[in-house]
Amino acid sequence: MNGNELLKKLRKVARQRGEHLEFIKKHGKGSHGTICLGERCTTMKDRKKEIGKGLLNAMLEQLGVDKEGEEGEGEEGTKKDAEGDTKKEGTNE
């Protein structure tokens, strides 16, 4: 996935959550910029280049978004709480 594809998915997440998504070009050096989704922000490299799996996961975690691009949904039968911890549905674990 490249940076432009990530921004497209994040726009969808922002609409679902009713949050503001912004890419701030001047808050980074060279081709880097800052993505803000609601109150959470992360740094993104060149939007035209591929983002590695580890970096993508770290960026999504910083923005509070799971890998599928939807907030709060994890493995089947689990849900993420406000802190991002995965919990089994119907339990307090």
Region 38-67: what's the mean pLDDT?
92
Burial class (CB in 10 A: 0-12, 13-18, 19+), 35: buried
Percent of the chain surpassing pLDDT 70: 71
* Spatial distance between the Cα atoms of 29 and 58, rounded to a whole number of angstroms: 19
pLDDT score for 51: 93
The first and second tokens of residue 73, run together, are: 């949904």
**CATH H-level, domain 3-70+84-88: superfamily:** Hypothetical protein. (3.30.920.30)
pTM metric for this prediction: 0.68
User: For the segment 11-51, what is each residue's pLDDT rounded down to a tens digit?
Assistant: 999 999 999 999 998 877 788 899 999 999 999 988 899 99
CB 44 within 8 A of CB 33: yes
Half-sphere exposure of 78 (CA within 13 A, CB side): 10
